Structure 1
Amino acid sequence: MRKLGLIGGMSWVSTRAYYEDINRIVQRQAGPESSAPMLIESLNFRPLYRIGEKAEWDRAADVLIESARRLESAGAEGLVIAANSMHHVYDKVAAAVSIPIIHIADCVAKAMQEKGVDRAALLGSRNVMMQDFYRERLVAQGIEILPPDEEIADRLDAIIYDELMIGKVTRSSERELKTILTNLGKDGAEAVVLGCTELELIVDTDANVLPVFDGAHIHARAAAEFILGEG
């Protein structure tokens, strides 16, 4: 099996989910005694929390580049950035190392194409919903993405940063997400992309009116396939 490097800590909640998902898939594929060869660098999220200005993104790129280089030097054969929003700096990080970095949006687009879905809504933090770095990657793969709703983006941003990233789950937020997904279906979405690694905490992906593509789980599956030599 190939050794994967995982840049995590953004947040620790999602890093835990990635580790569990990747190992469960490897165990199913390679046998019950197997576990995934991985190097994990868990970054301090505080300096990267809720950033938005160019200078802040430049600093974030530097932090992730240093992390990627450390993981490569330690023997990682491929990398995963375990956070949707930090794919904002993907191109800079990918250019700084000689090993592949698996892009979360490419994995999501592939999964949607396999299911014949070509029109979806993207949910996540304000950065993910309102900026182009994630959306354009899906569009380039032939997926039409509904225009972002600024009110929904602001509300989800609050839920993600004030609740989910510190491990807090509330029934009111669960109900609110269910209402949002129902309304998106009425607006013409064929499916919903969860563009935040923590949103799965309050979205039942199997019990909604729309198909839900959980980016973190899809990304983790691609990471496991890489480890197993399938990707």
Structure 2
Amino acid sequence: MKTLGILGGMSWESTVSYYKLLNEGVRDKLGGLHSCRMIMHSVDFAPFAEQMGQDDWESVTAGLIQAAKSVEAGGSDALIIATNTMHKAADEIQSELNIPLLHMADAIAGGAKKTGASKLGLLGTAFTMEQDFLSRPLKEKYGLDVIVPDCEERAMVHRTIFDELCCGRMMDATRAGYVKIIEKMVEQGAETVVLGCTEIGLLVRPEDVSVPLIDTVRAHVDLALDYVL
């Protein structure tokens, strides 16, 4: 078994899910008392969130590179960034490492293959929905089309991710709002919807909607398990 490096804490609410699912996955595949070999650097998210709010991605990227190097130095064979938004810095992080970064776009594509979808709806932070660091590789590498909610809906999703989900607050009213947005994207042709923030899967459940969902935590864990095992 290889050793997996994880950049976590963004937020820790979903990093807990990564840890649990990785260990459960190894146990299910190998049995007995087996668990996942991993090295985690869990950051203090508040300074990163402040830098993101100030559009200071240079500082965000520098902090992530420093954390990634510490994980590599600890003996990791590969790295995952346990958040969608920070994949904005994925290319810069990979360029500073000698181990592979297992990219979220590849994980999402794997999930889309399982559902047979070619047109995806995407929910996430404003950075994820409005910039192309996920949608571009999904289109260029896998031929997948991506649609996002309208401006007002994107603002609602972004706000609730930071104000509620990252703080462990799962509100029924917010869930209902997300479901309404998802169903609207289905009407616009989305064949499956990507929960493109790792906290959204803690709020929206498959039984809440009429379309298959790609929980990016689970998809990313599947990609990581395929590598380490």
TM superposition score category, shorter chain reference: over 0.9
2:5 aligns with 5
**Could you tell me how far 1:115 is from its partner in structure 2?**
2.7
Preserved CA contact (<8 Å) 2:179 2:208: no
Percent sequence identity over matched residues?
33
Q: Runs ≥4 in structure 1, deviation > 3 angstroms?
A: none
Local SS of the residue matching 1:102: coil
- For residue 102 of structure 1, what is the amino acid of its counterpart? L
Alpha-carbon distance in structure 2 between the residues aligned to 1:6 and 1:206: 30
Residue 14 (structure 2) pairs with residue 14 (structure 1): yes
1:205 alignment partner in structure 2: 206
Offset of residue 52 of structure 1: 4.9
Q: In the alignment, which residue of structure 1 is the partner of 2:126?
A: 126
Q: What letter is aligned with 1:127?
A: F
Count of residue pairs the alignment pairs up: 227
Q: Alpha-carbon deviation of 1:148?
A: 4.4
Contact 1:21 1:221 in 2 (8 A): no
1:139-171 Cα deviation digits (max 9, x unpaired)? 111001125421111000111000000101111
Counterpart contact for 1:4–1:78, Cα < 8 Å = yes
Q: By how many angstroms is 1:137 displaced?
A: 1.6
Residue matched to 1:110: 110
Q: State the SS of the aligned residue for 2:218.
A: helix
80-89 or 139-148: bigger deviation: 139-148
Which residue of structure 1 lines up, in the alignment, with residue 86 of structure 2?
86
1:10 and 1:214 mapped to 2: Cα distance? Answer: 16
Distance of 2:200 and 2:148 partners within structure 1: 20
Which position in structure 1 is the counterpart of 2:71?
71
Q: Distance in 1 between matches of 2:95 and 2:149?
A: 29
Q: Partner residue of 2:59?
A: 59
Structure 1 distance, partners of 2:12, 2:96, is 24
Output the amino acid matched with 1:133.
Answer: F
Alpha-carbon distance, 1:117 to partner: 0.6
- SS state of the match for residue 206, structure 2? coil
Q: For the aligned residues, what is the CA RMSD?
A: 1.3
CA shift in 2, pair 1:32/1:152, >3 Å:
farther
Distance 2:148 2:214 in 1: 18
Aligned-residue offset at 1:107:
1.2
Q: Tell whether the 8 Å contact from 2:149 to 2:181 is kept in structure 1 after alignment.
A: no
Greater Cα shift, 44-53 or 135-144 = 44-53
Name the structure 2 match of 1:186: 187
Stretches of structure 2 that go unaligned for 5 or more consecutive residues are none
Task: Please report how far the alpha carbon of residue 120 of structure 1 lies from its aligned counterpart in structure 2 after TM superposition.
Answer: 1.3
Provide the rounded CA distance (Å) in 1 between the counterparts of 2:112 and 2:20: 23
How far did 1:220 drift? 1.2
CA contact (8 A) 1:52 1:127 kept: no
The C-alpha deviation readout for 1:30-67, integer Å capped at 9, x for no partner, is: 1031110110111010111161555x111111111111
8 Å CA contact 1:193, 1:214 repeated in 2? yes
Query: How many Å separate the matches in 1 of 2:209 and 2:157?
Result: 18
Q: Is the 8 A contact 1:23 1:224 kept in 2?
A: no
* Structure 1 residues not aligned, in runs of 5+: none
CA distance in 1, matches of 2:158, 2:227: 31
One-letter amino acid of the structure 2 residue matched with residue 85 of structure 1: T
Distance 1:208 1:80 in 2: 29
Q: Which amino acid aligns with 2:189?
A: G
SS at match of 2:193: strand
